[in-house]
Amino acid sequence: MIMVRSLVANGRSLRMVTTAWQQVFAQTRSGALATFASSNQSLPQKIKELREATNAPMMECKKALMSPDVNGDISRALDFLRKQGVAKASTKVAGREAREGLVGLSISNDGSKGCVIKISSETDFASRSREFANLLEEASEKIIDNELIVQDEANPSDYTELMKQSKIITNLVDDAILGIRENLSIEEVQYFESDGNSRLAGYVHGKSPHSYKAGSTAVIVELIGADDAATNNLEHKMEEAGKKLAMHIVATRPQYISKEDVPPDVIQKEKQILMEQLLDSKDLNKPENILNKIVEGRLEKYFSEVCLNEQPHVVEEKSPKVSSVLGKLGIQVKRYHLSSIR
């Protein structure tokens, strides 16, 4: 009988302890966790969803969701992580130089708009990640699709600074910083838009394993066609020729399109260098007209090294001159841009 009474007493005590803990749990739920009572998702489910969206650590996602200002709302949690998490990450990586990175290239399907964007990271490990490649691809596509840039050739803009001030682009970078946990920086943005009688083409070299639109080097080329440039046949030729030309530019890295684009002072300096070389050679005693011809000949060699049109096309069979290849197609190069992480 005494044992039975003891068991009963212990049972009552156990029920009292259990009730006390239930009250504590109820009070807790009525506070920070009460917000989840009205949602179909549990706290772990929301944490999982937030982690998938941001790649942020689990405890930071939990902290964000349980913040009084967030009150369990996913969209508010995203803002919280941007403000708190990115600030924390930025403080953590402050002063650490971003030396690695990738270049992203995006060209619209009709070849009328194109964008090159270079973003740096601290380590090669980060730049080779899927998150980083996705950042380059998404940022370059948004610049085109959302028409974040309006080209005005009469009043050219600093596209890099424009995109550094764009909330759409900076949010993408901030989200990537949150997941990658490194200092990321927009280094360069170039934007091309066709004038209606031209077509854009490009090439990405050293592609990321996660995206064909991001790599170590990217080139965008604008080609001008003849009056019938709108025909499908010529458009196809321009697209194919443009891609090959972009590959050539990656390999040879010309500084100018044609000889006419080389500044006079650069030509004069090169002539001076060539003449000084002759003074130290066995050709010094030759007549002046012969020396001038030697200089002009070497100057042509210089042009073939720095001018795109004068270079042998390394992608075409037998390497004909670039101007010859394009001339047969009725195509000219209006402009190009090469961007490389190194």
Q: 277-290, pLDDT tens digit by residue?
A: 777 777 677 787 88
As beta bridge partners, residue 321 has 312
CATH code for the domain of 243:
3.30.479.20
20 pLDDT band, cuts 50/70/90, is very low
pLDDT attached to residue 15: 38
151 pLDDT band, cuts 50/70/90, is low
SS (H, E, C) the chain: CHHHHHHHHHHHHHHHHHHHHHHHHHHHHHCCCHHHHHCCCCHHHHHHHHHHHHCCCHHHHHHHHHCCCCCCCHHHHHHHHHHHHHHHHHHHHCCCCCCEEEEEEEECCCCCEEEEEEEEECCHHHHCCHHHHHHHHHHHHHHHHCCCCCCCCCCCCCHHHHHHCCHHHHHHHHHHHHHHCCCCEEEEEEEEECCCCEEEEEEEEEEECCEEEEEEEEEEEEEECCCCCCCHHHHHHHHHHHHHHHHHHHHHCCCECCHHHCCHHHHHHHHHHHHHHHHCCHHHHCCHHHHHHHHHHHHHHHHHHHEHHHCECCCCCCCCEHHHHHHHHCCEEEEEEEEECC
pLDDT attached to residue 273: 85
Q: Are 187 and 118 in contact (CB under 8 A)?
A: yes
- If asked whether residues 51 and 162 sit together in one domain, one would say no
Is pLDDT larger for residue 208 or for residue 47? 208
Residue 276 in any domain: the answer is: yes
- If asked whether residues 286 and 151 sit together in one domain, one would say no
Q: Are 250 and 217 in contact (CB under 8 A)?
A: yes
Nearest CA to 91 out of 169, 167, 186, 177 is that of: 177
Residue 79 in any domain: the answer is: yes
- If asked whether residues 44 and 82 sit together in one domain, one would say yes
- If asked whether residues 143 and 199 sit together in one domain, one would say yes
- If asked whether residues 111 and 54 sit together in one domain, one would say no
Residue 156 in any domain: the answer is: yes
Q: Are 215 and 256 in contact (CB under 8 A)?
A: no
Q: Which residues of 168-186 are buried (b: 16+ CB within 10 A; e: fewer)?
A: ebbebbbbbbbbbbbbbeb
- If asked whether residues 39 and 108 sit together in one domain, one would say no
Residue 321 in any domain: the answer is: no
CA-angle at 270, arms to 268 and 272, nearest 5°: 70
- If asked whether residues 121 and 268 sit together in one domain, one would say no
Q: Give the whole-angstrom CA distance, residue 123 versus residue 183.
A: 9
Domain count, the chain: 3
pLDDT attached to residue 61: 84
- If asked whether residues 192 and 163 sit together in one domain, one would say yes
CATH code for the domain of 81:
1.10.8.10
Residue 312 in any domain: the answer is: no
pLDDT attached to residue 227: 57
Residue 181 in any domain: the answer is: yes
Own/partner pairs, 288-296, CB within 8 angstroms, 24+ separation: 295/271
Q: Is the pLDDT of residue 263 over 90?
A: yes
Is pLDDT larger for residue 335 or for residue 159? 335
313 pLDDT band, cuts 50/70/90, is very high
Residue 125 in any domain: the answer is: yes
- If asked whether residues 106 and 148 sit together in one domain, one would say yes
Q: Are 81 and 58 in contact (CB under 8 A)?
A: no
pLDDT attached to residue 231: 57
How much is the mean pLDDT over the chain?
80
Q: 171-191, pLDDT tens digit by residue?
A: 999 889 888 888 899 999 999
CA 156 to chain centroid = 21
Q: 27-52, pLDDT tens digit by residue?
A: 333 333 333 333 568 888 888 887 77
Q: Is the pLDDT of residue 260 over 90?
A: yes
Q: Give the whole-angstrom CA distance, residue 167 versus residue 154.
A: 26
Q: Is the pLDDT of residue 200 over 60?
A: yes
Q: Are 173 and 186 in contact (CB under 8 A)?
A: yes
- If asked whether residues 90 and 110 sit together in one domain, one would say no
- Residue 305 neighbours by CB distance under 10 Å: 13
pLDDT attached to residue 156: 57
Name the one residue in this structure whose structure tokens are 């929301």.
46
Is pLDDT larger for residue 262 or for residue 181? 262
The arithmetic mean of pLDDT across residues 313-334, rounded, is 95
Tell me which residue range forms the domain holding 293: 264-299
- If asked whether residues 61 and 175 sit together in one domain, one would say no
Residue 138 in any domain: the answer is: yes
Joined tokens for residue 40:
């179909």
- If asked whether residues 122 and 167 sit together in one domain, one would say yes
